[in-house]
């Protein structure tokens, strides 16, 4: 119940971020003209969910120079504002998961860094897809290497978010879940979101496309909060085992075969601590 509420909060702010971010990218890089001649599936293959949203704002190419500049300023301000909101939500979500007091952190610099990371991931993803298309043979190797990019990014981000007294290595499981989840999200974008955007846009117009993107954002929000839950649960279990390392030995006869085996296992485990 709580995870769903926190995930929905992250998803809503992620959706609010993606709309002005897509306007900013489409206006600044002139991506609208290139996206206008491609299908939604092709856009998703090249730029992921950000490209799908950008395709929905491709009318920006018809604007004049002055209007384009004003739109760039407004979209840039809205992008940073919504990124600040995402940073604050992520901090509070991690405080809830890790059961630590709520903290207030500077959000402008992390917001700029978050926006830069999202843009970098889109660019790297686009180049990886082009390389896979040009050289199909090492496609599987590129996919495996691509997993390390979100893994390293989220592992580093997790060290900057509240995580109680957990060391850096205890945050690695969540980063692995995030990396695998991002790859699954990319497939989810290709095989569901693109079709949903195309079909719902024909039926419900822009509202249908917004619903499809909101579904993607909700899944992404649950993934982000799920990584924190995985890290917190594993760390608490590890701490409990450290406090009571051999709960199974209680009640065992010290002279019995089972008791001797338990003590031997404890001795072996002690070598690796």
* Number of structural domains the chain divides into: 1
Q: Which of 133, 80, 132, 137 is nearest to 111 (CA)?
A: 80
The answer, yes or no, to whether residue 162 has pLDDT greater than 70, is yes
- When the pLDDT of each residue in the chain is averaged and rounded to a whole number, the result is 75
pLDDT of residue 2: 65
The separation between CA 175 and the C-alpha centre of its own chain, rounded to angstroms, equals 10
Top mean-pLDDT range of 22-26, 69-73, 205-209, 263-267? 69-73
Distance CA 180, CA 186 (A): 10
Model pLDDT, residue 154: 93
Q: Output 109 or 247, whichever has higher pLDDT.
A: 109
pLDDT of residue 20: 86
Cα dist from 102 to 30, 47, 89, 110, 229, whole Å: 41, 35, 11, 17, 17
What range defines the domain where residue 36 resides?
A: 2-270
Pairwise CA distance, residues 189 & 104, whole Å: 34
The reported pLDDT for the residue numbered 18 is 85
Q: What pTM value is reported for the model?
A: 0.74
Alpha-carbon distance of 132 to 138, in angstroms, equals 7
Q: What is the pLDDT of residues 175-188, one digit of tens each?
A: 999 999 988 887 77
For residue range 92-104, list pLDDT tens digits in order.
Answer: 999 999 989 988 8
Determine the Cα–Cα distance for residues 272 and 249; give it in Å rounded to an integer.
19
- The residue that leads in pLDDT, 190 or 69, is 69
Higher pLDDT, 205 or 142: 142
With 70 as the cut, is the pLDDT of residue 194 above it?
no
């Amino acid at each position: 119940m709580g995870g769903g509420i926190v995930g929905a909060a992250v998803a809503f702010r992620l959706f609010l971020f993606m709309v002005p971010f897509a306007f900013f990218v489409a206006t600044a890089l002139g991506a609208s003209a290139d996206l206008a001649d491609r299908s939604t599936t092709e856009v998703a293959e090249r730029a992921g969910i950000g490209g799908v949203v950008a395709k929905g704002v491709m009318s920006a190419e018809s604007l004049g120079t002055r209007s384009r500049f004003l739109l760039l300023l407004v979209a840039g301000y809205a992008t940073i504002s919504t990124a600040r909101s995402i940073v604050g939500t992520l901090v509070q979500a991690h405080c809830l998961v890790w059961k630590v007091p709520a903290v207030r952190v500077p959000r402008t610099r992390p917001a700029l860094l978050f926006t830069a990371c999202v843009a970098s991931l889109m660019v790297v993803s686009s180049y990886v897809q082009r390389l896979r298309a040009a050289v199909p043979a090492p496609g599987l190797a590129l996919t495996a290497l691509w997993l390390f990019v979100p893994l390293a990014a989220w592992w580093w981000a997790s060290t900057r978010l509240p995580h109680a007294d957990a060391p850096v290595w205890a945050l690695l499981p969540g980063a692995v879940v995030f990396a695998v989840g991002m790859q699954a999200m990319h497939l989810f974008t290709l095989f569901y979101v693109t079709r949903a955007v195309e079909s719902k846009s024909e039926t419900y117009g822009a509202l249908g496309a917004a619903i499809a993107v909101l579904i993607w954002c909700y899944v992404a929000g649950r993934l982000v909060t799920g990584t924190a839950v995985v890290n917190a649960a594993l760390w608490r279990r590890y701490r409990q085992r450290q406090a009571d390392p051999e709960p199974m030995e209680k009640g065992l006869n010290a002279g019995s075969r089972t008791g001797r085996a338990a003590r031997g296992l404890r001795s072996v485990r002690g070598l690796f601590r």
